[in-house]
Amino acid sequence: DSGVTQTPKHLITATGQRVTLRCSPRSGDLSVYWYQQSLDQGLQFLIQYYNGEERAKGNILERFSAQQFPDLHSELNLSSLELGDSALYFCASSPRASTGELFFGEGSRLTVL
Amino acid sequence: QQQVKQSPQSLIVQKGGISIINCAYENTAFDYFPWYQQFPGKGPALLIAIRPDVSEKKEGRFTISFNKSAKQFSLHIMDSQPGDSATYFCAASKVISGSRLTFGEGTQLTVNP
């Protein structure tokens, strides 16, 4: 158990809809990262937050947004969903902004029909 | 831009054999090279990591070999066991930039009993 909690574990929705994925980092970790894992593209970095502020942005679509709240939990919002958004979305946390080791949650599996 | 290339995509090894997974990177600024292990239904978990100031790091049956001049690193699993069957990801990052891990495409390892 990494200590990172993600909800929901599974989500099925329709194209055009909007969903919110939630992540609670390990106790004391200030950095939260979101990754997308799909079969054909491996693990793709989406975005990082550190202590409530956006720190780094990767291949995140404009239809996606995220935030980190004062209690350090994070939410990833996916809107105008398309079939291609079906994937596993992982949240990871780390104690600081500049450390290599990430602790991953078990992921949220999104299926868009 | 894929900056970390991993091979092979899949690997089948007999119990007791040696599993070898290779990765090559492009960005010479990378200074942290971890390997993550992922079991079905779980998030990736750090297995072993190396910095570029050493050429080899060993932890139990797992060894990372690092060749800075060739910009390559590999994971060796000695005495492979069925419990090692998982997907392995190499990754690289420039720690100072905040752990923006760039992952390889993954290798699905199957160890037959």
| Beta-carbon count within 10 A of B39 CB | 12
For residue A56 the two structure tokens come to 């780094």
Separation of alpha carbons A23 and A68, rounded Å: 9
Per-residue pLDDT of chain B (113 residues; tens, 9 = 90+): 458 999 999 999 999 999 999 999 998 888 899 999 999 989 999 999 999 889 999 999 999 999 999 999 999 999 999 999 999 999 998 876 655 788 999 999 999 99
From chain B, the residues in CB contact with A9 under 8 A are none
Burial class, B108, CB count within 10 angstroms (exposed 0-12 / middle 13-18 / buried 19+) = middle
Q: Using CB atoms, which residue from B41, B96, B101 is nearest to A98?
A: B96
Q: How far is A94 from chain B (nearest CA, A)?
A: 9
pLDDT of residue B98: 59
For residue A65 the two structure tokens come to 């947004």
Q: Using CB atoms, which residue from B42, B89, B101 is nearest to A45?
A: B101
Most B CBs within 10 A among A43, A55, A103, hence the mutation to make, goes to A43
Using alpha carbons, list the distances in angstroms from residue B16 to A47, A55, B89, B112: 40, 44, 21, 9
Question: Residues of A near B (CB-CB distance < 8 A)?
Answer: 2, 4, 31, 33, 35, 42-45, 48, 50, 55-56, 58, 90, 92, 94, 97-107
Taking residues A10-31, report their average pLDDT.
Answer: 96
Closest residue in B to A41 (Cα–Cα):
B105
